[in-house]
Amino acid sequence: MVELRTPAQIEEMRAAGAFVREVLDTVAASAEVGVDLLDLDALAHKMIKERGATSCYIDYHPSFGAMPFGKVICTSVNDAVLHGLPHAYRLQDGDLLTLDFACSVDGWVADAATSLVVGTARPEDLELIETSRRALDAAIEQARPGNRMGDISAAIGGVAREAGLKVNLQFGGHGVGRTMHEDPHVPNDGRAGRGLKLRPGLVLALEPWFLHTTDELVMDPDGWTLRSADGSRGAHSEHTVAITEDGPLVLTA
């Protein structure tokens, strides 16, 4: 069921969005060569505890997960692009790292993701990250009353195709509110003018993610981390966006 939030509720969601942004920025600034992924997770965990927030990940156990996630932030490295389970790994020079984080503050959830390069960057990695960000910007621009869900999806897919990238439709954006994953699903490609009509009060996590040379994923033995089928690297950008009478409001900006 698709739920719409009142303007007052959207105002209440700002605190969750601001905190998610704070955690992502702090963890990203700490992601240096030699830092362990488990230390990044511990930092996010500490911030959650100090804020009195609630992790959306630690007990999360959907049908595709082998067990409860058990950590509080996704850390996907290089050819891993989604649901990276933090483990004992020290970041190396040139690693492409994606951080994905969601939590609940005062009963409201926000969700966001960012990709970055640790140390020396490969130009093609920076280009892939920038493409995911441009796709996110294009999606946000379409998140307006009167548009259709297909307008958001088509905007993402259009940026991908212009960059010569394939789009995977297994995992995409979603509604967000009292829980992390709510209706509706937001595919990362589609046809403009089709699908659910966008109305004020709809809050969506929009999250284009791309791989360099494939759209196929394989699951790690950890039962969570999703990697490219051909070993190519991935990038992922995400914001929580509220659709208002005045247009899109990015709660995790």
Structural contact between residues 31 and 91, judged by C-beta atoms closer than 8 angstroms: yes
Give CA–CA dist 51/49, Å, rounded.
Answer: 5
Cα angle, residue 109 at apex, residues 7 and 251 outer, rounded to 5°? 55
d(CA 32, CA 92): 8
Q: Each residue of 182-207: b (16+ CB within 10 Å) or e?
A: bebbbbbbbebeebbebebbbbbbbb
- From CA 112, how far away is CA 90, in angstroms rounded? 23
**Is 238 part of any known ligand binding site?**
yes
220 is in an annotated binding site: no
Is 239 assigned to a binding site?
A: no
> Is 181 marked within a binding site?
yes
Annotated binding residue 130: no
CA distance linking residue 243 with residue 22, whole number of Å: 22
H or E segment and range at residue 22 = helix 7-30
Q: Is 155 helix (H, G, I), strand (E, B) or coil?
A: helix
Q: Residue 111 annotated as binding?
A: yes
Cα 220 to Cα 223: distance, rounded to the nearest angstrom: 6
Q: Is 141 annotated as a binding residue?
A: no
Q: Which two tokens stand for residue 104?
A: 């609940």
Strand runs (DSSP E) across 140-246, as ranges? 173-175, 182-186, 203-206, 209-211, 217-219, 226-228, 234-236, 239-244
Name the DSSP letter for residue 197.
Answer: B
Give the annotated binding-site residues for a divalent metal cation.
100, 111, 174, 207, 238
Give the annotated binding-site residues.
83, 100, 111, 174, 181, 207, 238
Give the annotated binding-site residues for substrate.
83, 181
